[in-house]
Structure 1
Amino acid sequence: MISIKSALAKPFAKRVYYKVQKWAKKPFETQDKVFKYLISEAAGTQFGKDHDFISINSYEDFVKRVPIRDYEDLKPYVERVVAGEEHILWKGKPAYFAKTSGTTSGSKYIPITKESMPYHVEAARNAILLYINETGNSKFVDGKMIFLQGSPILKEQNGIQLGRLSGIVAHYVPKYLQKNRLPSWGTNCIEDWETKVDAIVDETLQQNMTIISGIPSWVQMYFEKLQQKTGKKVGDIFKNFNLFIFGGVNYEPYRAKFENLIGRKVDSIELYPASEGFFAFQDKQNEKGMLLQLNSGIFYEFVKADEFFNDNPKRISIKDVEIGINYVMIISTNAGLWAYNVGDTVEFTSTQPYRVIVSGRIKHFISAFGEHVIGKEVEQAMQEAVLGTNIRVSEFTVAPQINSNEGLPYHEWFVEFENEPVDVLKLAKKIDESLQKQNTYYYDLIKGKVLQPLKITKVKKGGFQEYMKSVGKLGGQNKLPRLSNDRKIVEGFPHTNETK
Structure 2
Amino acid sequence: MATKALFNTVVNWFIRQRIDQIQKFMDNPIETQNGVLFSQLYYAENTDYGKIHGFSSISTYRDFTANVPIVTYEDFEPYIEQARQGKKDVFWPGLVKNFAKSSGTTNAKSKFIPITDESLELCHMKAGKDLISIYANNHPDNQLFTNKNLRLGGSADFYENFNTKFGDLSAILIDNLPFWVEITTTPSKKVSLMSEWETKLNAIVSEVTNEEVGSLTGVPSWMMVLLQRILKETGKENISALWPNLEVFFHGGISFKPYREQYKKIIGKDINYYEIYNASEGFFAIQDQYGSDEMLLMLDYGIFYEFIPMDQFDPDNLQAIPLEEVEIGKNYAMVITTNSGLWRYLIGDTVRFTSLQPYRIKVSGRTKHYINAFGEELMIDNVETALSKACEATDSSILDFTGAPVFMQQGESGAHEWIFEFTQQPADLERFSEVFDNHLKSVNSDYEAKRYNNITLKKPIIHVAKPHLFYNWMSERGKLGGQNKVPRLSNDREYIEPLLKMNE
TM-score, normalisation: structure 2 = 0.95
2:118 is matched with: 115
One-letter code of the match for 2:494? K
Structure 1 residue 390: deviation in Å? 2.0
The alignment partner of 2:321 has SS state of coil
State the SS of the aligned residue for 2:117.
Answer: coil
Match of 1:421 in 2: 426
Q: Which one is further off, 325-334 or 107-116?
A: 107-116
> Aligned match of 1:464 in 467, 470, 475?
470
Q: CA deviation at 1:368?
A: 1.2
Q: Which residue identity lines up with residue 496 of structure 1 in the other structure?
A: N
Deviation at 1:251, TM superposition (A): 0.8
Structure 2 vs 1, CA of residues 54 and 313 (structure 1 numbering), >3 Å: closer, same or farther? Answer: same
Tell me the alpha carbon deviations over residues 55-78 of structure 1, each in whole angstroms, 9 at most, x when there is no partner.
211111111121211000111211
SS in 1 for 2:112: strand
Q: Which range is displaced more, 156-165 or 209-218?
A: 156-165
CA–CA distance in structure 1, aligned partners of residues 285 and 350 of structure 2 = 13
Q: Is the 8 A contact 2:306 2:334 kept in 1?
A: yes
Closer/same/farther in 2, CA of residues 95 and 84 from structure 1, 3 Å limit: closer
Deviation string 1:295-324 (CA, Å, 9 cap, x unpaired) is 111111000112112653431111111111
Aligned-residue CA RMSD (Å): 1.9
- Gap change, CA 1:240 and 1:112, over 3 Å in 2: same
- Tell me the SS of whatever aligns to 1:222: helix
1:339/1:170 Cα in 2 relative to 1: closer, same or farther (>3 Å)? same
Confirm or deny: 8 A CA contact 1:210 1:241 kept in the other structure: yes
Q: Which residue of 2 aligns with 1:175?
A: 179
Give 1:216 deviation, angstroms. 0.6
Query: 1:157-172 counterparts in 2 under 5 A?
Result: 157-172=161-176
Alignment TM-score, normalising by the size of structure 1: 0.95
When residues 215 and 406 of structure 1 are mapped into structure 2, their CA distance, relative to the original with a 3 A threshold, is farther
Question: SS state of the match for residue 118, structure 2?
Answer: coil
Amino acid paired to 1:283: D
Output the CA distance in 2 between the equivalents of 1:104 and 1:177. Answer: 33
Q: CA deviation at 1:173?
A: 2.6
Alignment coverage as a number of residue pairs: 497
Give, in whole Å, the separation in 1 of the partners of 2:37 and 2:287: 24
Aligned to 2:442: 437
Does structure 1 retain, via aligned residues, the 8 Å contact 2:276–2:287?
A: yes
1:151: how far off? 4.2
1:33 alignment partner in structure 2: 35
Gaps of 5+ in 2: none
Is 1:150 aligned to residue 168 of structure 2? no
Deviation, 1:166, is: 0.3
- 1:186-209 per-position Cα deviation (integer Å, ceiling 9, x unaligned): 322322212211211111112111
Number of the residue aligned with 2:72: 70
Q: Check whether the contact 2:84–2:96 (CA below 8 A) recurs between aligned residues.
A: no
User: For the structure 1 residues 220 and 105, does the alpha-carbon distance in structure 2 shift closer, same or farther, using more than 3 Å as the test?
Assistant: closer
SS in 2 for 1:492: helix
Q: Which amino acid aligns with 2:400?
A: E
Native 8 Å contact 1:152 1:170 kept in 2: no
Q: Is the Cα–Cα contact under 8 Å of residues 394 and 432 in structure 2 kept in the other structure? A: no
Q: Which runs of 5+ in 1 are unaligned?
A: none
Q: Residues 388-429 of structure 1: CA distance to partner in whole angstroms, max 9, x if unpaired?
A: 542111111111122679953210111011111111111111
Query: What letter corresponds to residue 424 of structure 1 in structure 2?
Result: L
How do 1:338-357 residues align onto structure 2 when only pairs under 5 Å count?
338-357=343-362
C-alpha deviations, 1:17-76, integer Å up to 9, x for none?
112111221001100111111111111111111111122111111111212110001112
- How far, CA to CA, are the matches of 1:82 and 1:328 in structure 2? 28
How far the C-alpha of 1:228 sits from its partner, in A, is 1.6
Asked if the contact 1:98/1:165 (under 8 Å) is kept, the reply is yes
Matching residue's letter, 2:110:
S
